[in-house]
Amino acid sequence: MRFYIFFAACVSKCNMEFAILYKKHSCLLVTLLLFFYFCGIKKQIGYRMKDSVIIVSGGMDSVTMLYEYSERIAIGISFDYGSNHNAREIPFARMHCERLGIKHFVINLDFMGRYFKSSLLEGADAIPEGHYEDSNMKSTVVPFRNGIMLAIATGIAESNGLKYVMMANHGGDHAIYPDCRTEFVSAFDAATRAGTYEGVSILAPYTGITKADIARKGKALRLDYSETWSCYKGGNTHCGRCGTCVERREALAEAGIEDTTKYLSDM
């Protein structure tokens, strides 16, 4: 009997000490509980927001999109299809993904270099010079390139439980590339929705804007565009004269961005 009385007294004393301790530190305890609760909520929200794959070449447009939508991008994919400039672009794509903590990998499409016809696959000398919208730039089209890349990216998205595939085509591409136009994006989006269990969708938020508009976004994001690649001729330095170099220079100038890119030609 004495033992039970002693035990009850100890429990009562402990309860009183706990009550006093709680009273003294209740604010701290509540703060800690709220902190851990909201950390958990934030982690869950962050996980849910990672819902997209992006096709990132390492050029101005896709790198800008990578940073603008980084909070929702889970995977960055680059494609090595044997173009003159892949070896210059892809390291920038990898660097920016690593900087943002986004998983990145490269998919080899070397069959395109063997079976497809395009000046973009035939060496630097085959690339025409002049403005991006000139008719001679049509020789740089790699047939259905975006369709092939989007199809692969869609499969990767669904395999990883992601809902969207992002591409960085823009309004200036429409005149040259059929697989950058609004009609193509809409049709391909319908195909991916119909052809996947999860209804994977194509997101192309730059379709209706210009490259200068994209550069303005990059300016607001404080991007350093010298850490991107545009020149279709490849080489160690931008040529300054091919269509993509001309378009790059014009976009940066229109956006009021100092162009620190090194060019072989001043035009």
Q: Residue 196 has what pLDDT?
A: 98
CB 262 within 8 A of CB 237: yes
pLDDT tens track for 168-215:
999 887 678 899 999 999 999 999 999 999 999 999 999 999 999 999
Q: Residue 26 has what pLDDT?
A: 55
For the ranges 24-28, 88-92, 160-164, 223-227, the lowest mean pLDDT is seen at: 24-28
CA proximity to 186, closest of 211, 161, 167, 210: 167
pLDDT tens track for 86-108:
999 999 999 999 999 999 999 99
pTM surpassing 0.85?
A: no
Sign of the alpha-carbon torsion through 163, 165, 170, 174:
negative
